[in-house]
Chain A
Amino acid sequence: MRRNALLGLTATILLGWTALAAQRAASAVYDSERQIRLEGVVTRVDWVNPRAFFFVDVRGGDVVANWAVEFGNPIELERNRWKRSTLRIGDIVIVDATPARDVTRQVLARSVVHKATGKRLFELPAARPRASLKLPPPRWPDGQIRLGPPAGQKGYWGAASVKGLVESKAASVRMNDEGLLMDLSEVDRVAPFQPWAKAVYLHRQRTRLKDDPIARCMPPGGPRQFMRPNGFQFIEQRELGRILVLMGGGNRNWRVIYTDGRPQGQAAEVVLSFFGNSVGRWDKDVLVVDSIGYNERFWFTNGGLPHTEALHLVERFSRPNLDILRYEVTVDDPRTYTRPWTGGWTVQWVPGEEIEEYFCEENAESTFIR
């Protein structure tokens, strides 16, 4: 119950941030059980992806300490008309924040108030579901579904409807935006784990995902690439018999799905990689993609589901209308799970926009020891 409350609090605090916090588990870095207030003078602003920081000198008696304040993702902030110049060096601000778990002078801002004007800065509007016109999916001249924008337009795939992969027949498994279970007793509903895999998954959950390889800028292989905060897009190179999947976050990764009719390789001969060896074919309006050849250096979904080199994925992509991508994946890894299992979600189309520049490594320097 207490864990539920804390996770709920975390989810609330991080609402609007987790879509932004991106490459590491905020739950692992910040201690949502504690809140602090800082008042100080802004000394520096790091307006960089994926996490913007500003720094304040906080005076306590005769001692001045410089604190790092994480306050969001610049792309998202700029979309909501906040700018780097919103905050200037020398401004005095009052920050209500969640402190880092360790002893560093670093916090995650819940609110930032400009002391002179009383204005709240960097607030994001609550997410509102976009009205769908239920327009039909775009198609190529030969009638095949397009996975990208209609001809002559822009757009990409944005937010996923879930934050973690679970077996479809589980009614619901509550987790936060990082894939952290609200109640660990629901673990058996996530997937049909082998005992070792369940133990590893629980270890990752109990340690609040602190060892997530994505925090070290490892690529989001497997289904995870379709649930990352900054979206993705398909580049259909029909003349080359392949589809490229470009990811908006991480290391600007791409994945190749071959649609030229080549057979799937032999698992023992495939060079192991983060995105595997993928061959796809269209089954009427559904793109069916078969993938093998994954290395073991990444987590294939938020929340830390384990896998081995035996991982075999069959993904099904369909687009019932312009705005929705339906994604379904069957996970077959007999070394990790007791049987094949299937999960899925939908992804929302973002019309008229392009994926913004976003690099995992850009503000690695903003991991502070202060």
Chain B
Amino acid sequence: MRRSVVLLICSLSGLASATTLAQEGHPLTGTWSGDWGSGPSKRTHVTMVMAWDGKTVTGTINPGPDAVAVQSITLDVTTWTIRFEADGKDSAGMPVHIAAEGRVEDIASAHRTISGTWRQGTTKADFKLTRD
């Protein structure tokens, strides 16, 4: 019992440390998670991974079996505005175009955020992603 408690505390401590690691490089690099939707009760989870190779930012939405490669990602560093577009599939498996525009907030934080508008097909929604 005591051993289990100690292990639990260690695990939680490790988790806390792991989730507070800062990243001081390109502000978009890393794994971001959050959701998009047209209202508080209608949200869809999103995981987005981005990387900077020195010339372009590449990205993947929901890596895994249903991954969507992001076609273009641009970052305007004068306003920290990000725009990205991708072609994915909707819940019925039909092709759908995604276009999002948001602002990177609190760029110095390990848990900086991107929030803005998300268009998926004809649906206009908002989104918010937080860097893991």
Assess A335 versus B52: contact at CB under 8 Å? Given A199-B78, A203-B107, A204-B108. yes
The answer to whether A307 and B108 have CB atoms under 8 Å apart is no
The answer to whether B78 and A309 have CB atoms under 8 Å apart is no
Q: Which of B22, B24, B54, B77 contacts A195 (CB 8 A)?
A: B77
Determine, out of A72-80, A84-92, A258-266, A296-304, the stretch whose residues face the partner at the interface: A296-304
Q: Which residues, 324 to 342 on A, are CB-close (under 8 Å) to B?
A: 334-336
| B contact residues around A282 at 8 Å (CB) | none
The answer to whether B25 and A296 have CB atoms under 8 Å apart is yes
Residue A308 CB within 8 A of the other chain = yes
Q: Which residues, 32 to 69 on A, are CB-close (under 8 Å) to B?
A: none
The answer to whether B26 and A308 have CB atoms under 8 Å apart is yes
Assess A200 versus B27: contact at CB under 8 Å? Given A308-B52, A310-B54, A335-B54. yes
Q: How far is the CA of A196 from the CA of B27 in the complex (A)?
A: 8
Q: How far is the CA of A200 from the CA of B108 in the complex (A)?
A: 8
Chain B, Cβ-Cβ closest to A194:
B54
The answer to whether A203 and B108 have CB atoms under 8 Å apart is yes
Q: Which of B21, B24, B77, B108 contacts A196 (CB 8 A)?
A: B77
User: How far, in Å, is A1 (CB) from chain B's closest CB?
Assistant: 24
Q: How far is the CA of A207 from the CA of B78 in the complex (A)?
A: 16
| A contact residues around B117 at 8 Å (CB) | none
A-B contact count (CB 8 A): 53
| B contact residues around A306 at 8 Å (CB) | 24-26
Q: Which residues, 312 to 370 on A, are CB-close (under 8 Å) to B?
A: 334-336
| A contact residues around B29 at 8 Å (CB) | 296, 308
Chain A, Cβ-Cβ closest to B110:
A297
Assess A213 versus B24: contact at CB under 8 Å? Given A203-B107, A334-B54, A335-B54. yes
The answer to whether B107 and A296 have CB atoms under 8 Å apart is no
The answer to whether B25 and A308 have CB atoms under 8 Å apart is yes
Residue A211 CB within 8 A of the other chain = yes
| B contact residues around A200 at 8 Å (CB) | 27, 107
Chain B, Cβ-Cβ closest to A307:
B25
Residue B125 CB within 8 A of the other chain = no
Residue B23 CB within 8 A of the other chain = yes
Encoded as 1 (CB less than 8 Å from any B CB) or 0, chain A from 198 to 238 comes to 11100110010011010010100000000000000000000
Residue B53 CB within 8 A of the other chain = yes
Assess A296 versus B54: contact at CB under 8 Å? Given A196-B75, A199-B77. no
User: How far, in Å, is A144 (CB) from chain B's closest CB?
Assistant: 37
Q: How far is the CA of A263 from the CA of B78 in the complex (A)?
A: 42
| A contact residues around B77 at 8 Å (CB) | 195-196, 198-199
Encoded as 1 (CB less than 8 Å from any A CB) or 0, chain B from 1 to 45 comes to 000000000000000000001111111010000000000000000
| A contact residues around B24 at 8 Å (CB) | 213, 296-299, 306-307
Q: Point out residues on B near A: beta carbons under 8 Å.
A: 21-27, 29, 52-54, 75, 77-78, 80, 107-109
The list of the 6 closest CB pairs from A to B, nearest first, reads A296-B25, A199-B77, A335-B54, A211-B108, A308-B25, A334-B54
What are 27 A-B interface contacts by the 8 Å CB criterion?
Answer: A194-B54, A195-B77, A196-B52, A199-B77, A199-B78, A200-B27, A200-B107, A203-B107, A203-B108, A207-B108, A213-B22, A218-B22, A296-B25, A297-B22, A297-B23, A306-B24, A306-B25, A306-B26, A307-B24, A308-B26, A308-B29, A334-B54, A335-B25, A335-B26, A335-B52, A336-B25, A336-B26
Q: Point out residues on A near B: beta carbons under 8 Å.
A: 194-196, 198-200, 203-204, 207, 210-211, 213, 216, 218, 296-299, 306-310, 334-336
7 further contact pairs, Cβ within 8 A, besides A203-B107, A296-B23, A296-B25: A196-B52, A200-B27, A210-B108, A296-B29, A308-B25, A335-B54, A336-B26
